[in-house]
Structure 1
Amino acid sequence: MNTLLIIMTIQGCLGAFDTLYHHEFTERLPWKPQAAQELWIHGVRNFFYAVIFFSLGWLSWGGWLSCLFAAMLLGEIGLTLWDFVIEDRTRKLPASERITHTILAINYGIILALLAPEMMRWSALPTGFHVVFHDIWSWVMSIFALGVLAWALFDYSRSKRFKVVESPPVLHLEVPRQRILITGGTGLIGRRLGQALINDGHDITILTRDKAKAAQFSGRVTLIDRLEDLRTVDIIVNLAGESLSDGFWTRAKKQAMYDSRLKLTQALADWIAVAKEKPRHLINASAVGYYGHSEILEFDESSSGGKPDLASDLCRQWENCAGQVASYGVKVSYLRLGLVMALEGGALAQMLFPSEFGIGGPMGHGRQWMSWIHIYDACGLIAHIINARIDGPVNATAPQPLRHKDFIRLLGRTMHRPAILPLPGFALKMGLGEMAETILLRGQKVVPKRALETGYLFRYPTLDLAFSQIFHGLI
């Protein structure tokens, strides 16, 4: 019996890792409307596991009750298979999650093999529940039982909060049926923008290294994995680039950050140079990091910038690379993006895990500025740039930036959670190095002067309005 309880302990630890690391932290399932059914399955399955853990620690199911216990074990298998089907339909699992699931399945098979003789013994007992005690292992099983029961209730309740499914913003370009290339089309903005333009009746081409991931688009779309396959287009929206806020900035990471932007943008410039029919407009992503950092200055598109850092250098090189196509008669716009607010990715998504568990709080001193934009406005501003034929820099930020401590306070209030546990700057620097210094602990106050001057009306000019839309019906 001790061998069985050891294997169950391993199963419990693997399950906790899978739940916390994959479901909560990396995949953020509780914040994806399409994951509602998967969360419901997790809730029911965890309830089964709670009964299994507690029973193995303290009870023998005598007589015909042993058959009921066996049915529950088989029910867990059925739920797991159903879960696999739902996962494959709704998301692409990372390799680490698939490996973890495989180990869990193998381990569960071992548990069933070890349980078989034990359940034969149970069936010979008088019908009823018989109390047993396995020393320390009974208490270990109790801990796991309480943990998975709590998570069963947690997942079940969160599966019910999805009252609305996030949809792409409604965009209307003045010129109908335009041919538009989007690079980075499977990214945070690219997914929403691409689907919105498809819905508006345009011919969309997505340049992607992962065509399977791009299959999420519904409607008429062309997928290519190399520029040589690109036909004539009217507009190029270049959103591709390695994430700056994802992980430690090693030498290889920094190189990838530069290469993913500069090499692709140069390839686009080379393609435009030889194209017989050139696009009329290139909208090239950049970021508010272009301005460097400052706690006191306010930046608009005419500002020279604050203190330089790696992010500002990267943005300037990126914009310079894109700007060369202007010599071919192509209009060039630089979309200097702030922090994009959306549940499925970006800065806000990274804050959801600690905030939901009440351990959110300001990073560092909290005085750093956060210039942000709702994802609908990010897409809407791209459409506005196309319609208004705007060239040059355009700050893609909401009109009201705010300090990080105020941002966190409003997030906590919206989520009905405390947001009072500060994360010291030195701890962030020790854990994440230069990335924390540049991205998390510094900021800039950026205002969308050109967007407002050219008549763009922000749907979500304030953070409370943005959060009302993002979290409406979800909490």
Structure 2
Amino acid sequence: MDNPILWTLISIQVVMGAFDTLVHHEGSERLAWRASQKTELRLHGVRNFFYAVIFLCFAWLEPHGAFAIALTLILAVEVMITLWDFVEEDMTRKLPGSERINHTLLALNYGAILALAAPYLLAWSSLPTGFVFVNYGWWSVMATLSAIGVGLFSARDLLAASRSDRLKRGDPAELVAALPPRQHILVTGGTGFIGQRLVEALVAAGHFVTVVTRNPKKADMLSHPVRVIADLDQVHNADHFDAIVNLAGEPIANGPWTRKKRAKIIQSRVDMTDGLNKLIQRLESKPKCLVNGSAIGWYGLRGNEELSEQAGSTPAFVHDVCEAWERAATQAIQYSVRIVRLRIGLVLGVDGGILAKLLTPFEFGGGCVMGDGQQWMSWIEQDDLVRVIAFAIANKAIEGPINATAPHPVRNVEFTNALAKVLKRPVFLKAPHWILATLLGDMARETMLGGQRVVPSRLQNYGFVFRHPRLAPMLRKITGAKPQQAGIDAHQQRIAAK
């Protein structure tokens, strides 16, 4: 099969397949962490296994007789699996345009490969059964490396499919059980990581939800029925809201803080909050409560100091952002609206946020400690945060700053080791302070290398009970670790506690 055109097409198939896997399956879609994609993951796992067999065979072996017929059947089965995969994808998720285009190109290119390979397979099938060793130089090396790659992803996808059922999170309506029935809630930032889960819980519980989003197309991912608006001007003066949840803002940790980026981070939050103040002013029926997002960055960088809501702040850009946001929110007090300022820690969930960015690198052995690893990470599990928001709306005594963090913060090295242990992967790497600071500047120094040791004093005083107070059991639960191992860890923790 010494045909440069055929090998070129195989190489193109490998590149497009790698792009689809890394950019779509692992990147934007994160299929391995979606409970709904169990069947798709199994299809990918089996198909990648067949690809590994095909690549290895093409690389080093010329199959004759029955073996050539078997290889032909494998190539045909791959077509059937791909068609089944197309149907499954359309039934279970909305594919991005780039993925649809890539799938079309993969199918066309695979057809061309089959057309060029057919004469070879036909000729080989008439020969006595056996294998003949071949070597096509670089082409054989490329095919071998490709076989190793798809083989690894085959194993990974099949293992991911086996844990899919353990990723199911139960009835989201339970997360907002603290709320009175049939509340009218306005949510800004409802298409974000936190907002999506909040909206899902509210809708499941039968509440009436209005979502403000700058990109209405993103509303396709929301639970329905939900009212979606692109601008607060679309709200009528006679509309009624029992509460407003303000989570909208430019992402803060997705790149270096240039002067333009800093301005956008602050302005996006202040402008939306000012817009809400104007809305509240003109509403004939005022909302009873505004739950306004903020962050533990309000405290600045405080080293090992334990920080309750009574703690002061130190200068930092993250403080400037939170202070401007909170100051804008407090203007609603003049309209007799109860203001709750949630100082939110690192929100952990497999659907998004910092944990979603870390899971794939850690799974493939790329986990690392940031700097010296001694910086504090004050965190909260995603569903616990949704419960905190509902608790704050329902409890009329709560107002002012509230630390929305789990009661047991950890250092970065503890976090790294806990995540690696849950995923059963080693940690060999460290990201030196100077590299992160050089590449990302103040963004790294304040969000990755700095930290705050925050405790939720007021929440606990009001009687809020966290479902996930400690990191390791929480990570094991949300990543779908096997129950028996979770039981062992719980037993070990009870022994350690004694």
TM-score (ref. length: structure 2): 0.87
Question: What residue is the counterpart of 2:288 in the other structure?
Answer: 280
Distance 1:363 1:453 in 2: 33
Answer whether contact 1:62 1:129 (CA < 8 A) is retained. yes
Q: Does the residue aligned with 1:81 lie in a helix, a strand or coil?
A: helix
2:364 to 357, 367, 370: 357
2:207 to 202, 206, 210: 202
Answer whether contact 2:191 2:222 (CA < 8 A) is retained. no
Task: Give the alignment of 1:62-73 within 5 angstroms.
Answer: 62=64, 66=68, 68-73=70-75
Question: What residue is the counterpart of 1:337 in the other structure?
Answer: 344
Aligned length: 474
Distance 1:136 1:198 in 2: 56
Q: Does the residue aligned with 1:333 lie in a helix, a strand or coil?
A: strand
Answer whether contact 1:299 1:305 (CA < 8 A) is retained. no
Question: What residue is the counterpart of 1:148 in the other structure?
Answer: 150
Residue 317 to residue 55, structure 1, CA distance change in 2 (3 Å):
same
Is residue 419 of structure 2 the alignment partner of residue 411 of structure 1?
yes
| Residue type at the aligned position of 1:378 | L
Of residues 146-155 and 358-367 in structure 1, the stretch that sits farther from structure 2 once superposed is: 146-155
Question: What residue is the counterpart of 1:170 in the other structure?
Answer: 175
Question: What residue is the counterpart of 2:22 in the other structure?
Answer: 20
Distance 2:271 2:419 in 1: 37
CA apart distance, 1:108: 2.5
Residue 138 to residue 419, structure 1, CA distance change in 2 (3 Å):
closer
CA apart distance, 1:123: 4.8
Question: What residue is the counterpart of 1:46 in the other structure?
Answer: 48
Distance 1:86 1:364 in 2: 43
Distance 1:222 1:78 in 2: 41
1:457 to 462, 465, 468: 465
Q: Does the residue aligned with 1:245 lie in a helix, a strand or coil?
A: coil
Q: Does the residue aligned with 1:161 lie in a helix, a strand or coil?
A: helix
Question: What residue is the counterpart of 1:269 in the other structure?
Answer: 277
Residue 464 to residue 138, structure 1, CA distance change in 2 (3 Å):
closer
Answer whether contact 1:284 1:322 (CA < 8 A) is retained. yes
Distance 1:252 1:72 in 2: 54
CA apart distance, 1:287: 0.7
Task: Give the alignment of 1:190-339 within 5 angstroms.
Answer: 190-218=195-223, 220-230=225-235, 231-306=239-314, 308-339=315-346
Question: What residue is the counterpart of 2:493 in the other structure?
Answer: none
What's the CA shift string for 1:441-470, capped at 9, x where partnerless? 111111112111222122222213322432
Q: Does the residue aligned with 1:398 lie in a helix, a strand or coil?
A: coil
Answer whether contact 1:163 1:473 (CA < 8 A) is retained. no
Answer whether contact 1:66 1:122 (CA < 8 A) is retained. yes
| Residue type at the aligned position of 1:185 | G
Task: Give the alignment of 1:176-195 within 5 angstroms.
Answer: 176-195=181-200
What's the CA shift string for 1:148-167, capped at 9, x where partnerless? 22321221122112233124
Question: What residue is the counterpart of 1:108 in the other structure?
Answer: 110
Unmatched 5+ stretches in structure 1? none
TM-score (ref. length: structure 1): 0.91
Is residue 445 of structure 2 the alignment partner of residue 445 of structure 1?
no
Question: What residue is the counterpart of 2:57 in the other structure?
Answer: 55
Unmatched 5+ stretches in structure 2? 484-498
Distance 1:205 1:4 in 2: 55
What's the CA shift string for 1:191-216, capped at 9, x where partnerless? 22222222323212222344454344
Of residues 309-318 and 17-26 in structure 1, the stretch that sits farther from structure 2 once superposed is: 17-26
Of residues 349-358 and 83-92 in structure 1, the stretch that sits farther from structure 2 once superposed is: 83-92
Answer whether contact 1:5 1:56 (CA < 8 A) is retained. no
Identity among equivalent positions (%) equals: 44
Q: Does the residue aligned with 1:362 lie in a helix, a strand or coil?
A: strand
Q: Does the residue aligned with 1:73 lie in a helix, a strand or coil?
A: helix
Distance 1:415 1:50 in 2: 25
Answer whether contact 2:326 2:341 (CA < 8 A) is retained. yes
Q: Does the residue aligned with 2:227 lie in a helix, a strand or coil?
A: strand
| Residue type at the aligned position of 2:439 | G
Compute the RMSD of aligned alpha carbons.
Answer: 2.5
Residue 150 to residue 458, structure 1, CA distance change in 2 (3 Å):
closer
